[in-house]
A and B are shown apart, each in its own frame.
Chain A
């Protein structure tokens, strides 16, 4: 099980996957890789990194304004 917290939607979901590439996860949840920063177990990862069973992932929206 992979726990995913989607900050911009203020909700947390659980995925049954044993393994998923970050970019696949992002797209699966309706985002594009340039919209969110992926944090796996407290550390930022790239879209090519893998997420495994037991990981806790947070999708943090990138804020563009100034």
Chain B
């Protein structure tokens, strides 16, 4: 068990699986059993940003049966989003992504609760958002909010699943506070922001899937979380490699915790 909230604390209700749920999830119950599926059903996950990464992670987390998904995104869909943000259709241009995403995911899986919120995470509201969930998924395209979330997740000792993408490259870092480095340990100051970055649609697809995989592993206690490793995806030569990473002793966010 990686986190005590999974056996007590944040999740207190015991749940049962319906006949329909047992059938819907039967192929993955073969992996982690009904107990694992119940853990997913009890779990609450915050996905911040439903763009390229969030489109993919939210689809697979909804399909896997995560009991409650909260999607936060302040933006409206643009035509140039559609090469990678696969939750949406051409008809959705101009609409708020969080609202369209919630409706789309509800069609995929009516058994789960999905809330789409048009909002931006800030220093002022981050505490409330993180306190309502067991785990946070990074679907962001900016470092300012990533660092706000990383800090709050470390503070509340909740897993934070970071990914970033550009072109045909991407990185993944699973932050398990107290058990490995946080985002600040690896990237101590915010990299330059880039509003219109080049990206092939498959890059966030792959990274979003890796994020969803790690989320499901952590929530079900199945497999080993990718902690203490920075995963680097390079689509140019199609490689996926892991680099050992350690906590920075003087990290202003997690140092000494």
Q: Interface of A with B (CB < 8 Å)?
A: 7-8, 10, 32-35, 37, 39, 42-44, 46-47, 60-66
Interface members, chain B 157-172 (any A CB < 8 Å):
163-167, 169-171
Residues of A close to B234: CB separation below 8 A: 7
Interface members, chain B 47-83 (any A CB < 8 Å):
49, 51-54
Taking a contact as CB atoms under 8 Å apart, the answer to whether B186 and A35 are in contact is no
Q: Roughly how many angstroms separate A14 CA and B243 CA in the complex, as a whole number?
A: 22
In this complex, what residue of B is CB-closest to A7?
A: B234
Could you list 28 A-B pairs, sorted by A, with CB under 8 Å? A7-B234, A34-B189, A34-B192, A35-B191, A37-B171, A37-B230, A43-B243, A43-B244, A43-B245, A44-B246, A46-B188, A60-B232, A60-B243, A62-B191, A63-B164, A63-B165, A64-B143, A64-B164, A64-B191, A65-B52, A65-B164, A65-B165, A66-B51, A66-B52, A66-B138, A66-B140, A66-B165, A66-B204
Q: Roughly how many angstroms separate A61 CA and B246 CA in the complex, as a whole number?
A: 18
Taking a contact as CB atoms under 8 Å apart, the answer to whether A66 and B139 are in contact is yes
**6 more CB-based (< 8 A) A-B contacts, given A7-B169, A10-B236:** A60-B232, A64-B143, A65-B164, A66-B51, A66-B54, A66-B138
Q: Considering residues A10, A35, A66, which has the most beta carbons from chain B within 10 angstroms of its beta carbon?
A: A66
Segment from B16-24, B33-41, B100-108, B193-201 that makes contact with A: B193-201
- Smallest beta-carbon distance A8→chain B, Å: 8
Q: Does B190 contact A (CB under 8 A)?
A: yes
Known: A7-B234, A62-B187, A65-B194. A46 touches B142 (CB 8 A): no
Residues of B close to A37: CB separation below 8 A: 171, 186-187, 230, 243
User: In which size bucket is the chain B interface?
Assistant: 35 or more
| 6 closest cross-chain pairs (CB), A and B | A66-B141, A63-B166, A63-B164, A34-B191, A44-B245, A65-B197
Interface string of B123-151 (1 = CB under 8 A from A): 00000000000000011111100000000
Q: Does B248 contact A (CB under 8 A)?
A: yes
Taking a contact as CB atoms under 8 Å apart, the answer to whether B166 and A61 are in contact is yes
Residues of B close to A64: CB separation below 8 A: 141-143, 164, 166, 191-194, 197
Known: A65-B141, A66-B54, A66-B138. A44 touches B186 (CB 8 A): yes
Q: Roughly how many angstroms separate A63 CA and B164 CA in the complex, as a whole number?
A: 5
Residues of A close to B192: CB separation below 8 A: 32, 34-35, 64
- Smallest beta-carbon distance A7→chain B, Å: 7
CB contact between B164 and one of A34, A44, A66 (< 8 Å): that residue: A66
Q: Roughly how many angstroms separate A57 CA and B230 CA in the complex, as a whole number?
A: 16
- Smallest beta-carbon distance A61→chain B, Å: 6
